[in-house]
Amino acid sequence: MGKWPKRSSGRLLRKRSCLFEKARRRGGGVMAGRNLTMAGLIWLMVFLLLFTLAIAKGIGLLLLFSCWLGAALAWNFLKCPLGLSRAHAAINDDDTLEAGLPGRVCVQVWLDGGGDPVPVRLSIDGQPGHNVVLGNANQEVWIPMHPLRRGWTQFPEAWLGASGPYGLVEARLNVLANDRILVLPRQGKIEISEFMGWLRQRRDSGATEVESSNVLSAVGEEFHGLRAWRAGDSPRLVHWRTTARTGVKMVREHEQPKEEALVVLIEPNESNSGEKLVNLAASLVSAWGRGGLRWLGLVVMGSRPVVLHTQGATTPVAEMLAALAACGAGDGVAVPGSGWRRGAPVVRLAVHPGEISNELHGSLCRWVSPADLARLRWYEPGREVQP
C-alpha cells in the first residue's frame, strides 16, 4: 500500500493550523483531459490515410491494418488516465527558502493504493519537467525556487502528466493548485561575542537605554573559585600558586554561568529599510536561539502581533522565523504573558523612535534603526542573489 508522505523532521513550520495553510491534502487534482502527443498525431494521420486508401481501393488487408491502428489509438485514450487518477502530490518541505536567495522545495508524489509502476512527469511552469516512476513507494522531487520577497507565496502551477501504453495520448493532472510556500527573511551573520559586548555598552550613538541593576546578570558571566582537592579531581585543575602558599592542594572550580537572556522587539515597516530590520531580527533569532543556556523572547508588533519565547530548554526558532516571515506593518500590539523573563535586555528594531511596553520596563533597551545597520560590527547582512 502507498504510504502517506512524512513531514520533514527538521523545522516544523506547519505545526499550527492558525499559522499555515494546508501542508498535505488527500484527494486528486483537476484532470485537464487527454491530448494527443506528437507520436499520436502522426499515428492518427497514418490511420486516416490508410483507412481512406483501403476504402477507396477496396484492399481488405489494408483496411484490417488501418482498423488495428484506430483500435490501438482508442485503447490509448481509454487506458491513459487510469493510473494518473490515483496520483497525488504535496509540498513536503519548504523551510529552506529565504527571500532573495536560490533554494529548493521538496514535492512528494505518491500513488494511492500502490500497484504497478506508473511513469509520470511533473512539470512546473517555467522549468524543465521531472520524470518519476510511481509505485508502492513515495517519490520526492526537489524543485528549484528563487523567491524575491518573504511571506506566503503561491506555488507555481504544477502538472502531473502520463501517457498511454504506446505514448500516443497524454493525460494531465493539475496538482498543488491551492498550496502556498513560506519564504523566510534573508538571514545574515551574527558575531555573538561582539553582539554581547555591544549590548552591555552604556552609551552608544543611535541607541536608547533604560537603566537596570540586573543587566549584566541577565546577560550572563563566568565565575571561578577555589576549593580543596577531592578524590577524582583532574590534576589539570590544581592551582599550584595557592597550593604552594597554603600547603593544601587547591583546585579551580568553575561555576555554571547564568542563563543568557535576550528579547528581540520588531516593529515592521513596509519600506525597504523596514525589511532590513526584519532580516536583522531573523538573524538574531537564528543565531541566539540555537545556543545553549540562552533564553530568547520575540515580540512582533504590526498587523500580526505575536509573542514567543523559550519554553524550558526549547526555543521555538522555527515558529519565530515563521512569525517574522508573515509579519506586516500595522497598529497591533503584542503583550508578553506568563513565563516571560523579566529584566532581560531588549533590542528594539524600528524605523522610528518610540517607547517599549510596560511589561518590558526595567530592562536595558537598545534601539536599532536602519541608519545604524552599517555601523554594527557584529552583523553582516545576507547578500541578495539576482535570479
Looking at residue 151, which CATH number applies to its domain? 2.60.40
pLDDT tens track for 164-222? 777 788 888 888 878 889 999 999 999 988 998 888 774 444 444 443 333 333 444 44
- Residue 138 maps to a domain: yes
- Residue 304 maps to a domain: yes
Task: Indicate the SS3 state at residue 372.
Answer: helix
Residues 347, 365: Cα–Cα separation, whole Å: 6
Same domain, 136 and 199: no
Residues 14, 12: Cα–Cα separation, whole Å: 5
3-state helix, strand, coil in the chain (%, to 5): 25, 30, 45
**So what's the pLDDT on residue 340?**
79
The answer to whether residues 264 and 298 touch, using CB atoms and an 8 Å cutoff, is: yes
Rounded to two decimals, the pTM is 0.70
Give the ranges where the chain is alpha helix by DSSP (H): 38-57, 60-84, 192-200, 215-219, 240-246, 272-289, 317-326
pLDDT band at 276 (very low <50, low <70, confident <90, very high): very high
Q: Please state, for a pLDDT cut of 70, what percent of the chain lies above it.
A: 82
Q: Which set of grid coordinates corresponds to residue 116?
A: 504497478
**So what's the pLDDT on residue 17?**
33
Same domain, 201 and 153: no
pLDDT band at 35 (very low <50, low <70, confident <90, very high): confident
Task: Indicate the SS3 state at residue 158.
Answer: strand
Pairing of strands 260-266, 346-349: parallel
DSSP, residue by residue, 18-78: TT---S---S--EEEEEEE-HHHHHHHHHHHHHHHHHHHHT-HHHHHHHHHHHHHHHHHHH
How high is the mean pLDDT of the chain? 79
- Residue 358 maps to a domain: yes
The per-residue b/e assignment along 84-113, b for 16 or more CB within 10 angstroms, e otherwise, is bebbbbbbbbbbebbbbbebebbbbbbbbe
Q: What is the mean pLDDT of residues 57-74?
A: 89
Same domain, 272 and 311: yes
- Residue 78 maps to a domain: no
**So what's the pLDDT on residue 280?**
96
- Residue 263 maps to a domain: yes
Same domain, 246 and 193: no
Domains held by the chain: number: 3
**So what's the pLDDT on residue 16?**
31
Same domain, 179 and 166: yes
What domain range includes position 92? 30-34+85-183
Same domain, 248 and 263: no
- Residue 199 maps to a domain: yes
- Residue 22 maps to a domain: no
**So what's the pLDDT on residue 26?**
39
Same domain, 212 and 274: yes
**So what's the pLDDT on residue 326?**
92
Neighbours of 203 (CB within 10 A): 6
Q: Which set of grid coordinates corresponds to residue 214?
A: 540586573
- Residue 172 maps to a domain: yes
For 342, which DSSP code? T
CA angle 264, 270, 274 (to 5 degrees): 40
Same domain, 203 and 325: yes
Tell me which residue of 104, 109, 106, 107 sits closest to 4, measured CA to CA: 109
- Report which listed range, 6-10, 54-58, 276-280, is most confident: 276-280
